[in-house]
Structure 1
Amino acid sequence: MSFFELLNIELKKVKRSKITPLIFIAPLLVVASGVANLSSYFTPDYTDAWPAMFIQSALVYAYYLLPFSMIVVCVMIAGRETQNNGILKMLALPVSRYTLSLAKFCVLLFYLFMEMVVFLVVFVAAGLIAANTSGITEALPLFYLLKWCIGLFLTMLPCMATMWAITILFEKPLLSLGLNLFLVIPGVLVANTPLWIVYPYCYSGYLVSCSLHDFTTESSDTAFAVFPFLPCAIMIFALVLLVAVTRFGKKEMR
């Protein structure tokens, strides 16, 4: 069985689950509240309305709501295999458990991508309504929005790998859920220290904080520095994903 066949099977498993409605909750909540709170200050001559609305919506979303929703998705994906000893049945098949773990992680990334698409669509719709209501004629900065949404997706990858590794390492769903939630909460505090670079739970929030810095200052230099962030993030992603892949199903095979 090829990897893509296995990936297709994993996607079919979660097709009728409650995960799909879940990914709509966080974007709807954060965009509706963020745009509504800020739009009351708009006037027809207001400038940079779109960046202001994006930052207002994305700050809480990147630091908390996006990680929270992905933690629940992790637990739900892993939980489908623990029900009725499903994991034992899968491990009995002539399929590498390493490949199986990677396929499940790719499903997790698929839901992350889908949530980012939902966030972008909901934000554009809410922003257009707010702009038209306030009489703002500022053009939709689609490239700006795509750039930051892609940035959110990429900076979430080390965090996703860490969440998945914790979900695999701890057999009880409540334990993995609680630990991941505990690690998300101090993200905004760690982002304001030099330790942010080794704390993947704050990467996406830190990116939005940097966009806020760029928006409020007149400096041409961006606050987000690719180096040394990129090598550190790649190393963390590779290490924790390696742990997740090698530990998947190991307890059940004893």
Structure 2
Amino acid sequence: MNLFSLTLTEIKKTRHSKILVLLFIPLVILWIPNIVNADMSLSPVMEGITPENNFFIQSFMGFAWFIFPASIIVCTVLLQQSERTNKGILKMLALPVRPGLLCLAKFLVLVLLSFIQIAAMTGLYFLCARIASAYVDYDLMVQAEQVLKLSGTLFLFSLPMMALYWMMAVCLTTPVFSIGLGLGTMVPSVLMINAKIWFLYPPCYPFYVVMTNYLKLSTDPGRKLDLIPWIPAAAALSILCLLIACLAFGHAERK
């Protein structure tokens, strides 16, 4: 089996799981208070931020800092545990399939699930911005191009974080440890975006993207998305994490 067919097989497995439900529930929890408290967006906390930009960025800020990384962590554990149920991993390893290829297929499923959640977040923004606008009698909708650009950037620069969390889920076979360590890495994200070596800490990438866009919209010149040394560091960390994950995948079961 090649990588494409393995990925399709893994996608079919998720159809019988509750992963998609777990991706959508946090988004609903996020948007309900954003709509109810939409009037707070009329008083931006930073000079130069318009109410519509404030509503837009503040919503994505909560998503990028907590909901999105937490969802990825849960998905990595669920994808791993789906193979350990009824010793499914042993059956898969018994097939003429390289463990590393199977590991990459599962990672691609994780990337697809992350894309679905970001797409759902984007779609809900357009819906909720309309509802909130009617609620506060002010147009809180920003241009679609601005929303899609932020969503696309957020997804692309989250790939290293996905690789890191996938490596942790593969290497830490105990779900409690994997989830606990993953959630623990989210806490320093707010601090790390202000550190000089922030580009070496993938969990802060999504929040960094949103914060940089927020500062751009204010009168404060803030910071820019400096692609150097960000992209080389992100690429190297992604490759390293995936390499470790591929080497460790199924190692405990093969003993």
* Interval containing the TM-score (normalised by the shorter chain): over 0.9
Q: Is the 8 A contact 2:41 2:52 kept in 1?
A: no
Deviates more, 1:55-64 or 1:73-82: 55-64
Q: Is the 8 A contact 1:152 1:207 kept in 2?
A: yes
Match of 2:128 among 126, 129, 151: 126
State the distance in 2 between where 1:232 and 1:253 align.
33
Match of 2:96 among 77, 94, 97: 94
State the distance in 1 between where 2:179 and 2:231 align.
27
Q: 1:139 to 1:63 in 2, by over 3 A?
A: closer
User: Alignment partner of 1:246: what SS?
Assistant: helix
Match of 1:79 among 62, 78, 81: 81
Find the counterpart in structure 2 of residue 185 from structure 1: 187
Q: How does 1:208-247 map to 2 (within 5 A)?
A: 208-217=210-219, 219=221, 223-247=224-248
Q: Aligned Cα RMSD in Å? A: 2.0
State the distance in 2 between where 1:82 and 1:170 align.
13
How big is the shift at 1:41? 5.0
Q: 1:84 to 1:38 in 2, by over 3 A?
A: same
State the distance in 1 between where 2:98 and 2:24 align.
33
Deviations 1:123-161 (A, max 9, x none): 110101112333335764001000000111111110100
State the distance in 2 between where 1:152 and 1:139 align.
19
**TM-score when scaled to structure 2?**
0.92
Q: Is the 8 A contact 2:53 2:142 kept in 1?
A: no
Q: Is the 8 A contact 1:19 1:76 kept in 2?
A: yes
Q: 1:182 to 1:218 in 2, by over 3 A?
A: closer
How big is the shift at 1:85? 1.1
State the distance in 1 between where 2:14 and 2:84 align.
14
How big is the shift at 1:94? 0.7
Q: 1:183 to 1:139 in 2, by over 3 A?
A: closer
Find the counterpart in structure 2 of residue 4 from structure 1: 4
Matched to 1:73, the amino acid is: C
How big is the shift at 1:16? 1.5
- How many percent of aligned residue pairs carry the same amino acid? 33
Residue 18 (1) aligns with residue 13 (2): no
Matched to 1:32, the amino acid is: I
> Matched residue pairs, number?
251
Q: Is the 8 A contact 1:72 1:177 kept in 2?
A: yes
User: Alignment partner of 2:194: what SS?
Assistant: coil
Deviations 1:191-250 (A, max 9, x none): 12112110000000011111111111264x862212221111111111111111121112
Q: How does 1:15-94 map to 2 (within 5 A)?
A: 15-40=15-40, 42=42, 48-94=50-96
State the distance in 2 between where 1:178 and 1:5 align.
33
Unaligned residue ranges in structure 2 (runs of 5+): 44-48
Q: 1:217 to 1:159 in 2, by over 3 A?
A: same
State the distance in 2 between where 1:125 and 1:170 align.
39
Matched to 2:20, the amino acid is: T
Q: Is the 8 A contact 2:7 2:106 kept in 1?
A: yes
Match of 1:147 among 143, 146, 149: 149
Q: 1:125 to 1:10 in 2, by over 3 A?
A: same
Deviates more, 1:116-125 or 1:20-29: 20-29
Find the counterpart in structure 1 of residue 46 from structure 2: none
Deviates more, 1:190-199 or 1:103-112: 190-199
Deviations 1:49-101 (A, max 9, x none): 43211211111211111101111111111001111111111000011111100
User: Alignment partner of 1:251: what SS?
Assistant: helix
Q: Is the 8 A contact 2:70 2:183 kept in 1?
A: yes
State the distance in 1 between where 2:84 and 2:91 align.
10
Q: How does 1:185-204 map to 2 (within 5 A)?
A: 185-204=187-206
State the distance in 2 between where 1:98 and 1:179 align.
24
Q: Is the 8 A contact 1:38 1:56 kept in 2?
A: no
Q: Is the 8 A contact 1:156 1:203 kept in 2?
A: yes
Residue 165 (1) aligns with residue 167 (2): yes
